[in-house]
């Protein structure tokens, strides 16, 4: 399947709001291929030349529903700096990820969130948990894993898992108070 800006469904399509179904393991060839294609999109979108050539918008994650397939599959590539200032890459090809715990402390992206399926700008903070623990099967490691995520990775995982419930990032923005003051929140 060709995945690019033309084939990713947008928020004007009611399909983006459809709930995604869990996927059985071991993965079927079809589901494995789809997950690999989602991952390839994210990887290629981070390369300026490939992004331009193939009409890809930069991404850190994409879920299967964004290509019109309501299955709990998502690919994520996030790079951050660790406490020593070294770049760390988190790369996942997740099947049926579930948040099993989340912190009371909140976090949000200072410049707001974006989404491959959302073309219009939506001003406001998307307030999420600062830390989450996610259980999933990861195709890269080919096993069940537990991810203890904080900061940007935690936000990306929550964003992608929201897609499985038909929730888009701007659903979390308070229309009456889009830029609330949140005590002790981590601003990223």
Is 111:125 a contact under the CB 8 Å cutoff? Answer: no
E strands, 24-142, in order: 61-63, 73-81, 87-102, 106-108, 128-129, 131-138
Which tokens is 42 given?
């994210």
Domains and CATH numbers, the chain: 14-187 (3.90.45.10)
- CA dist., res. 31 & res. 183, Å (int): 42
Is 69:34 a contact under the CB 8 Å cutoff? Answer: yes
Element (H, E) at 39: helix 29-45
pTM (2 decimals)? 0.95
Q: Is 183 tagged catalytic?
A: no
Q: Could you read off the pLDDT of 88-147 as tens digits, one per residue?
A: 999 999 999 999 999 999 999 999 999 999 999 999 999 999 999 999 999 999 999 999
The one catalytic residue among 144, 160, 183, 184: 160
């Amino acid at each position: 399947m060709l995945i690019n800006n033309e084939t990713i469904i947008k928020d004007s399509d009611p399909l983006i709001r459809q709930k995604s179904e869990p996927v059985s393991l071991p993965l079927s060839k079809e589901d494995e291929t789809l997950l690999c294609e989602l991952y390839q999109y994210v990887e290629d979108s981070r390369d300026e030349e490939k992004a331009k050539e193939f009409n890809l918008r930069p991404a850190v994650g994409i879920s299967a529903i964004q290509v019109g397939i309501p299955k709990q599959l998502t690919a994520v590539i996030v790079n951050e700096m660790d406490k020593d200032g070294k770049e760390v890459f988190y790369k996942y090809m997740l099947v049926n990820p579930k948040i099993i715990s989340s912190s009371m402390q909140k976090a949000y992206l200072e410049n707001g969130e974006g989404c491959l399926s959302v073309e219009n700008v939506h001003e406001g903070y998307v307030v999420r948990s600062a830390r989450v623990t996610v259980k999933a099967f990861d195709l890269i490691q080919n096993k069940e894993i537990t991810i203890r995520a904080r900061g940007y990775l935690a936000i990306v995982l929550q964003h992608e898992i929201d897609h499985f419930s038909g929730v888009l990032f701007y659903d979390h923005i308070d229309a009456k108070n889009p830029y609330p003051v949140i005590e002790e929140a981590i601003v990223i």
